C-alpha cells in the first residue's frame, strides 16, 4: 500500500504521528483526572466480576489485557482518523489521488538529502548532465559561462549590454520540474523575419526580468521559480567578457563564436577584461560542494572561460570537493581537432594549473557509420591514453556514457549514474557526507546499481 510510504525514513511524518498519539493519551489522562479515578475503578471492578463469573476466580491480568486492547483500539482509531484527514486534504489538492502526493513528498525528501554538486560549463553538454543529475539530488548549482556572443544571446548582449542569457536559459530548462508546455515556451524561437526572428522566448524573458529587477542574479532566481528549477543556476560573472584566442601561428581571434570559424589550432585562450569579478555565490557553491563537475562541453569556449575568471581556479584548489572533468566524446572541428583525452586535460592544466582529481572518459566504441558521418565534418572519437593522463596526476574513470542515435552524445542517465556513483563512493567517509541520511544514500546506490 502506498500509504505505508508515509512511514519511510526521511518523510518527517512519524514524529508528528507520535506527537499526535501522545496528545491523545495526555488528553485521556486529563479527562480521567477531571471525572475522578472512581469511574476507572468502576470499570476495573466490572472487568473483575465478569472474569469471576466466567472462570470462577479473580484474574488480575485481565485488566492488563483489557487495557492493552483499549490502547490498541485507540491507536487504530487514530490511524484511521489520520488517514481520513489526509485523504480529505489530498482530495482537494490532488484530485488524482493521494498516491501522487506521497510520491512527491518522498521524492522531494530524498532529493534534498542528495550530495551537493556544482557543475561548471556551458552549451548543450552541461544541459545533458544536469538532466540526469537532477533525478538524484536537488542540491545542484550550475555555474554557466558568459562568454557567448553569437545568435540570440549575442544580439541581446549587444543591444542591452547584459550578459548572454542563452546558456543560462538552457540550464534552467534542464533543471526544471514543470509542465512540458512551460519548458517548450522557454525554448521556443520566433520565426519569420524582423527583429524577433531567431530570438528565444526564454532569452527575452530573462532579459526583461533583468531590466525589471535591475539584477541578473535576482532575475535568474525569480525565473527559476517559474520553471520550478531544482537547485540554482548562476553566471560565473555578471560582467560581460570577451573570449580571445591566440592561435599556434600567432594570429589572434576575438569572440567566442568566431574562434571555431578560424579553423586554426588554438595555443591559448584568455578573457577580456582580465579583472572581472566572479559571482560570490558561485565561489561559495564550489567551496561547499561534495563534488565539482567540469563539463561536458566545448573545452575552449564553454569550460575554460569559467575557470579563467579570477578566483574560480583557486576556489577549486581550495575546495574539499572531488573535482571531476568529463571529457568530450568527439573532437570539435576548429577547436579540438585531433585532440586526445590527454590533450583535453593538459589544456585545462596549462591554462589554470592543477585543479582536476578525476577525468571521466568514454569507453564505448562509436559505431562505424556514425564515425563516417562525423568524419565528413572533420570530427572523430576522442582517443584515450590512460597512462599519459595519469602521468599528469589525474586519475581516469572509463565508462560507457554515450547515447548513439543520429548523433554521438553523452547519455544523461548513463553519465549521471557514473558520476553520482563516484561521488557516493569517494565521499562516503567524509564528515560532510556523514551528515546525510544513510538510508537514502543506500537507496541511491541501490537504484544506480539496479539500472546498470
Mean pLDDT to the nearest integer, 109-135: 84
Q: Which residues contact 441 (CB under 8 A, 6 or more apart)?
A: 424, 428, 433
Give the cell for residue 261: 570559424
How many residues make up the chain in this entry? 452
pLDDT computed for residue 306 by the predictor: 96
Mean pLDDT to the nearest integer, 290-298: 92
Instruction: Tell me how far the alpha carbon of residue 180 is from its chain's centroid.
Output: 18
- Could you tell me if residue 308 is inside a domain? yes
| Alpha helices, DSSP H, located in 115-175 | 123-133, 151-160, 166-174
Based on the domain organization, do 20 and 94 belong to the same domain? yes
Based on the domain organization, do 44 and 131 belong to the same domain? no
Q: Is the pLDDT of residue 178 over 50?
A: yes
CA gap 170, 186 in Å, rounded = 9
CA gap 200, 186 in Å, rounded = 7
Q: Is the pLDDT of residue 425 over 60?
A: yes
pLDDT-derived band at 451 (thresholds 50, 70, 90) equals very low
- Could you tell me if residue 183 is inside a domain? no
pLDDT computed for residue 183 by the predictor: 80
> Nearest CA to 145 among 259, 229, 256?
256
- pLDDT tens by residue, 343-396: 999 999 999 999 999 999 999 888 888 888 889 989 999 999 999 999 999 999
- Could you tell me if residue 369 is inside a domain? yes
- Could you tell me if residue 392 is inside a domain? yes
Task: Write down which residue in 67, 102, 137 finishes a domain.
Answer: 102
| Percent of the chain's residues with pLDDT above 70 | 75
Least confidently predicted of 94-103, 166-175, 375-384: 94-103
Instruction: Tell me how far the alpha carbon of residue 88 is from its chain's centroid.
Output: 33
- Could you tell me if residue 413 is inside a domain? yes
Count the Cβ atoms, other than its own, within 10 Å of residue 124.
Answer: 16
In 288-380, DSSP assigns E strands to 291-294, 322-326, 358-362
Based on the domain organization, do 292 and 359 belong to the same domain? yes
Based on the domain organization, do 98 and 245 belong to the same domain? no
- Could you tell me if residue 178 is inside a domain? no
- pLDDT tens by residue, 38-71: 566 666 667 666 665 666 555 556 666 666 777 7
3-class DSSP state of 244: strand
In 255-412, DSSP assigns E strands to 266-272, 291-294, 322-326, 358-362, 395-399, 402-404, 408-410
Q: Between 146 and 50, whose confidence is greater? A: 146
Give the cell for residue 172: 534552467
Domain of residue 384 covers 113-146+236-451
Asked if 160 and 117 count as a contact pair (C-beta separation under 8 A), the reply is: no
pLDDT-derived band at 268 (thresholds 50, 70, 90) equals very high
Based on the domain organization, do 241 and 97 belong to the same domain? no
Task: Write down which residue in 68, 102, 136 finishes a domain.
Answer: 102
pTM score: 0.76
Q: Between 61 and 120, whose confidence is greater? A: 120
Asked if 309 and 278 count as a contact pair (C-beta separation under 8 A), the reply is: yes
Looking at the 3D structure of the chain, how many domains does it have? 2
Q: Which residues contact 191 (CB under 8 A, 6 or more apart)?
A: 197
CA 433, 439, 443, 449 torsion: positive or negative?
A: positive
Give the cell for residue 106: 518522498
Q: Is the pLDDT of residue 145 over 60?
A: yes
- Could you tell me if residue 332 is inside a domain? yes
CA gap 410, 326 in Å, rounded = 10
Task: Write down which residue in 102, 127, 157 finishes a domain.
Answer: 102
Based on the domain organization, do 76 and 119 belong to the same domain? no
Amino acid at each position: 500500500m502506498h500509504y505505508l510510504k508515509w512511514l519511510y525514513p526521511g518523510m518527517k511524518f512519524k514524529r508528528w504521528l507520535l506527537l499526535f498519539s501522545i496528545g491523545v493519551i495526555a488528553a485521556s489522562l486529563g479527562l480521567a483526572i477531571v471525572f475522578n479515578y472512581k469511574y476507572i475503578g468502576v470499570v476495573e471492578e466490572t472487568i473483575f466480576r465478569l472474569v469471576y463469573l466466567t472462570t470462577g476466580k479473580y484474574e488480575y491480568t485481565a485488566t492488563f489485557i483489557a487495557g492493552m486492547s483499549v490502547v490498541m483500539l485507540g491507536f487504530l482509531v487514530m490511524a484511521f482518523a489520520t488517514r481520513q484527514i489526509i485523504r480529505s486534504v489530498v482530495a482537494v489538492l490532488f484530485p488524482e489521488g493521494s498516491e501522487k502526493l506521497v510520491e512527491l513528498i518522498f521524492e522531494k525528501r530524498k532529493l534534498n538529502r542528495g550530495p551537493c554538486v556544482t557543475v561548471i560549463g556551458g552549451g548543450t553538454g552541461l544541459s545533458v548532465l544536469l538532466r540526469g543529475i537532477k533525478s538524484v539530488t536537488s542540491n545542484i548549482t550550475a555555474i554557466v559561462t558568459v562568454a557567448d556572443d553569437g545568435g540570440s544571446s549575442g544580439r541581446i548582449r549587444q543591444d542591452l549590454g547584459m550578459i548572454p542569457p542563452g546558456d543560462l536559459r538552457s540550464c534552467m530548462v534542464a533543471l526544471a520540474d514543470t509542465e512540458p508546455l512551460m519548458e517548450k515556451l522557454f525554448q521556443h524561437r520566433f520565426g519569420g523575419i524582423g527583429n524577433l526572428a531567431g530570438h528565444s522566448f526564454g532569452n527575452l524573458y530573462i532579459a526583461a526580468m533583468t531590466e525589471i529587477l535591475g539584477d541578473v542574479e535576482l532575475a535568474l532566481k525569480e525565473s527559476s521559480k517559474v520553471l520550478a528549477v531544482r537547485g540554482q543556476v548562476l553566471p560565473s560573472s555578471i560582467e560581460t567578457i570577451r573570449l580571445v584566442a591566440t592561435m599556434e601561428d600567432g594570429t589572434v581571434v576575438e569572440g567566442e563564436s568566431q574562434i571555431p570559424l578560424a579553423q586554426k589550432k588554438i595555443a591559448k585562450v584568455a578573457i577580456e577584461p582580465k579583472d572581472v569579478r566572479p559571482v560570490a555565490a558561485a565561489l561559495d557553491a564550489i567551496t561547499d560542494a561534495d563534488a565539482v563537475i567540469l563539463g561536458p562541453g566545448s573545452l575552449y569556449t564553454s569550460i575554460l572561460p569559467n575557470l579563467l575568471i579570477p578566483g574560480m581556479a583557486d576556489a577549486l584548489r581550495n575546495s574539499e570537493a572531488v573535482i571531476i572533468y568529463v571529457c568530450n566524446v568527439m573532437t570539435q572541428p576548429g577547436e579540438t581537432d585531433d585532440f586526445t583525452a590527454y590533450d583535453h586535460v593538459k589544456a585545462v592544466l596549462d591554462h589554470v594549473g592543477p585543479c582536476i582529481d578525476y577525468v571521466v572518459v568514454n569507453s564505448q566504441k562509436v559505431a562505424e557509420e556514425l564515425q563516417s558521418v562525423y568524419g565528413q565534418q572533420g570530427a572523430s572519437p576522442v582517443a584515450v591514453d590512460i597512462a599519459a593522463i595519469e602521468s599528469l596526476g589525474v586519475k581516469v574513470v572509463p565508462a560507457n556514457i554515450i547515447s548513439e542515435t543520429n548523433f554521438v552524445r553523452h547519455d544523461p542517465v548513463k553519465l549521471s549514474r557514473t558520476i553520482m556513483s563516484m561521488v557516493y563512493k569517494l565521499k562516503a567517509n567524509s564528515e560532510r557526507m556523514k551528515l546525510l541520511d544513510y538510508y537514502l544514500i543506500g537507496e541511491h546506490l541501490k537504484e544506480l546499481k539496479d539500472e546498470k
